[in-house]
Amino acid sequence: MNRPDSPSIALPLSGEERYRMIVSYDGAPFHGFAKNPGVDTVEGLLTQTINRVLDEIPLLTCAGRTDAGVHAKAQVVSFDSVPFDTKKMQKSLNKLCSPYVVVTSIEKTSDNFSARFSAKSRTYRYQVLNQDNPDPFLARYSWHVREPISIEKMNAAGQKLIGEHDFSSFCRKRIIDIDGKQVVASLMREIQSLRWEEADDNLLELWITANAFCHQMVRSITGTLVDIGTGKICQSSILDILEAHDRNSAGQVAPPYGLTLWKVTY
């Protein structure tokens, strides 16, 4: 499925190259990826440090604009610049951005590559710690839920969400401008896979892959499935929630710190 709001991809200016950068970060200290005046963001830090090294302000494009507190194992970022030594740049950025942001690779890429619009799918992981006591070593990276959770119910309900649907019940609406008119952006998305797994130490992991995600979609799906797993919502209600196209029909929104952008496929 093509994203309805996907524009044509602008090419680099004369004398510039396009670069593809893989970035890993702990989202706890940041107010999300996207630049936001007056607060610390991942994009703001990367832009500032690239400017410091190259003496130019890059325009960064990312694969997924993660929210405040959300982490990334392999965020993909593309930008244009005059040519530079990628190894030296990586070393400089890691010196300036550590310890919470690490650039794991930088390489030249094709002129028509976009970290956002060239992506075929994104995979997220969400961790839920399901036990009586919290764990201070997992507090930044998991949601602590004391009530017993049925992973079987969550997996059965989650399978109903696979495929192409209007996910209005699980997303915040976004207004976009088309030919001077303000319209609601399409919330049609295609979930390609969704599964819950049991990890060590009472840790449950949701792995979800889609062509794209809308705002708070993964966290809303996670919260709703956990409500089903704890018995707060009937398992059979999942299709009614999906078909309602109403955010108020779904369950709670899971907190951001359990969520990690894990992989982007091109």
pLDDT in tens, 196-245: 999 988 999 999 999 999 999 999 999 999 999 999 999 999 999 999 99
Question: Cα dist. 166→52, 75, 227, 250 in Å?
Answer: 43, 25, 21, 14
Beta strand 121-130 pairing with 259-265: antiparallel
Q: Which two tokens stand for residue 204?
A: 């449950």
Higher pLDDT, 220 or 184: 220
Higher pLDDT, 60 or 178: 60
Q: Which residues contact 128 (CB under 8 A, 6 or more apart)?
A: 142, 143, 144, 145, 149, 203, 204, 205, 206, 222, 226, 254, 258
Q: What is the pLDDT of residues 151-179, one digit of tens each?
A: 999 999 999 999 999 999 999 877 666 67
Q: Cα-Cα-Cα-Cα dihedral of 56, 57, 63, 66, to 10°?
A: 140
Which residue among 26, 67, 80, 227 is the active-site one? 67
- Identify the residue whose tokens are 């609406």: 173
* pLDDT for the residue 205: 98
Q: Does the pLDDT of residue 50 top 80, yes or no? A: yes
Q: Which two tokens stand for residue 229?
A: 């797993």
Q: What is the pLDDT of residues 96-116, one digit of tens each?
A: 999 999 999 999 999 999 999
| Rounded percentage of the chain residues whose pLDDT exceeds 70 | 95
Average pLDDT over residues 133-140: 96
Helix (H) or strand (E) holding 98: none
Collapsing DSSP to helix, strand or coil, 194 comes out as: strand
Q: Does the pLDDT of residue 59 top 50, yes or no? A: yes
HEC letters along 40-63: CCHHHHHHHHHHHHHCCCCCCEEC
- With vertex at residue 260, the alpha carbon angle to CA 231 and CA 108, rounded to the nearest 5 degrees, is 155
* pLDDT for the residue 164: 98
Start-to-end CA span in the chain (Å): 14
DSSP state of 122: E
Distance between CA atoms of residues 253 and 224, nearest Å = 7
110 CB neighbour count, 10 Å cutoff:
9
Distance between CA atoms of residues 138 and 143, nearest Å = 9
Q: Catalytic site residue 67?
A: yes
Domain extents in the chain? 17-108, 121-265
63: left (phi over 0), alpha (psi -120 to 50) or beta: alpha
| CATH number among 3.30.360.10, 3.30.70.660, 3.20.20.190, 3.20.20.150, domain 121-265 | 3.30.70.660
Q: How many residues does the chain have?
A: 266
Confidence (pTM): 0.93
| CATH number among 3.50.50.60, 3.30.70.580, 3.40.50.300, 3.40.50.2000, domain 17-108 | 3.30.70.580
Average pLDDT over residues 112-134: 98
Collapsing DSSP to helix, strand or coil, 20 comes out as: strand
Same fold, 17-108 and 121-265: yes
Q: Does the pLDDT of residue 190 top 90, yes or no? A: yes
